[in-house]
Amino acid sequence: GSPQFKPLRPRRRRIEIEVSDDSVSNGTETDCEERRAAKQASRWTPGAAVVTQFGGATCRKDGDSVSPGEPYCPQDLHEATVKSTSRITGDSLAGEVGDEYRDVRHVVLALPPLKSKPENAGSVAGNMYEPGDVAYVMPRNRSSAVDAFFELMSAPYRQLRWKLMHARVVLETLSESGADIESLGEDSVRERRPTEVYELRLNVRQPCSLNEIVAAHFDLNSIPTRSFVSSLANHAANPLEKSRLEEFASEKGSDEFTMYAHREKRSILMTLRDFPSARPPLETLIAIMPRLKPRAFSIASSPAADRGELHICIALVKYKTALRRIREGVCSAFVRDLGPNDIVPLWIQRGSFRLSYEPADSPLILIGPGTGIAPIRSILRDLHAKEISAKVPRRRVLVYHGCRYDHIADSPHARGDFLYKEELQSYQNIGLITSLRVAFSRESSQKMYVQHLIRQDAFEVGTLLLSNPNTRVLVVGSSGSMPRAVTESLRDSICVASRAQLDAETADRMLRKMASASRFCVECW
């Protein structure tokens, strides 16, 4: 008979820690992702194990127990409206795609009226966010990519494209102790216990069309995983295509698959184009298709200075693959296409840094290379607005910023990538910024980064850290070597200012104590 599913018992949450090999050719993130996907695929029951409900019709009884899946978007999702977008790097840097390519956009959004205070956002009444908070943007696929998807798919997909429906996806998974499902027939799988049943939440509001699911939920630009091509192989009608997909999914074919997918950065859409006979049914494709993920951006505006608005600073991703094919990130394409009055779904996440106005003389050391200048701009705009309203006195503010060029060498009047240059200089001119130091990494043969400037100012920086226990430090920017190099330069500055009375170990302990008191914050991505 049909399997009976009992309600799931509460279980302890398990945290899994993954360790990957950074020497693999496709990188650590892909290495982890593939092993996660392979593990998940090994738990899926074949055939009827993926259950989909559309418009109230279901292939399971109403009494079946279904656990709700984790929502990808929180309940406080806001629909902001685009007011303007502008490029804040030189046009010459946004030309030909290559090592010098740099295209950063400043996006101004109008926020909807605040109905209730999000639990995870800032704590100031009446404000949706505070300086230091992060905006999570939900991108969408380009309409051209969505059109290409439906052109590649079979007739049933095209027939459902614009039909409104209540889409519900329910997945079954075998228990952790289950055997390898590839060695079991469908009847054997149905006899296994226990089975977990849960609902897959979609990035869409119901009712919706299939077009909306493809545009807002499917990550058509992501690189396919071995579990994805394995699922395609199960539905490939062409023997040659089926054999090739099975080879990609096998251990023996891992090198071939790396060459196919990762070296050339092929997308899901390109893979569907390469294997035209591999067309899973809709319910299976929804279950195996990677989900569009939100992108996090530091907020560049201040609720005090920019009422009703939210500004974000976004570096667009565009590059050439090994075979000179141009690829662009999903969110980058989404931002590039934005125009006035377009809708941007987003939510606000509280940041680790909080701008404290007590005590009023708390000095600030703000370090933000690249787009890390965005939250620093937010803080400066907030300080300026509150100084104008005579709410806070002036304090010492040291700003360290890093970029490639102030201007292009062969075009002295061509703008480089010194972000918010005029605004930062105006703050320095009026005394809001005590010291503005900018490192240009490519204007000379000798590389110059923010940590080098901090070392040049070691006595001033170290004295500020030692003399005022309320000094706050914020380091924002790209992860990698920068956070460690900046932390070491701050440590050495403390040693210099102490005139060798403090050693490096003592200075490290001081920085750790500042971090535990939320006076030394590092936010990197």
* pLDDT values of the chain reduced to their tens digit, one per residue, 525 residues: 444 433 334 333 333 444 444 445 555 445 555 555 545 444 433 333 343 443 332 333 333 333 444 445 555 788 999 999 999 998 777 766 766 788 999 999 999 987 655 555 544 445 889 999 999 999 999 999 999 999 999 888 999 899 887 777 776 654 444 444 343 344 444 444 445 666 777 888 878 889 999 999 999 999 999 999 999 999 999 999 999 999 999 989 999 999 999 888 899 999 999 999 999 988 888 888 999 999 999 999 999 999 999 999 999 988 887 777 788 889 999 999 999 999 999 999 998 888 877 777 789 999 999 999 999 999 999 999 988 887 777 899 999 999 988 865 555 556 788 999 999 999 999 999 999 999 999 877 788 999 999 999 999 999 999 999 999 999 999 888 999 999 999 999 999 999 989 999 999 999 999 999 999 999 988
Q: What is the pLDDT of residue 378?
A: 97
Topology of 353-525 in CATH? Answer: Rossmann fold (3.40.50)
pLDDT for position 113: 84
Task: Give the pairing of strands 326-328 and 318-320.
Answer: antiparallel
Structure tokens at 95: 């030309």
Rounded-to-integer distance, Cα 466 and Cα 73, Å = 43
- Range list of H helices, 86-160: 143-152, 155-160
Picking from 368, 366, 365, the residue whose alpha carbon sits closest to that of residue 466 is: 365
Give the pairing type, strands 435-440 and 134-137: unpaired
56 Cβ contact list (under 8 Å, min separation 6): 166
SS3 content of the chain, % helix, strand, coil (to 5): 35, 20, 45
CA 473 to CA 366: how far, in whole Å? 6
Look at phi and psi of residue 290 and say left if phi exceeds 0, alpha if psi is from -120 to 50, else beta.
beta
CA dist 483 and 504 (Å) reads: 17
Residue 402, judged by CB atoms within 10 A of its CB (0-12, 13-18, 19+), counts as buried
pTM, 2 dp? 0.80
Token duo for residue 326: 């141009």
The number of residues making up the chain comes to 525
pLDDT at 35: 56
pLDDT of residue 195: 55
> Which pair of structure tokens corresponds to residue 43?
């738990």
**Could you tell me which of 333, 334, 354, 350 has the C-alpha nearest to residue 342?**
334
pLDDT at residue 116 in the model: 56
Rounded Cα gap, residues 203 and 205, in angstroms: 7
Rounded-to-10 torsion of CA 335, 336, 339, 343? -20
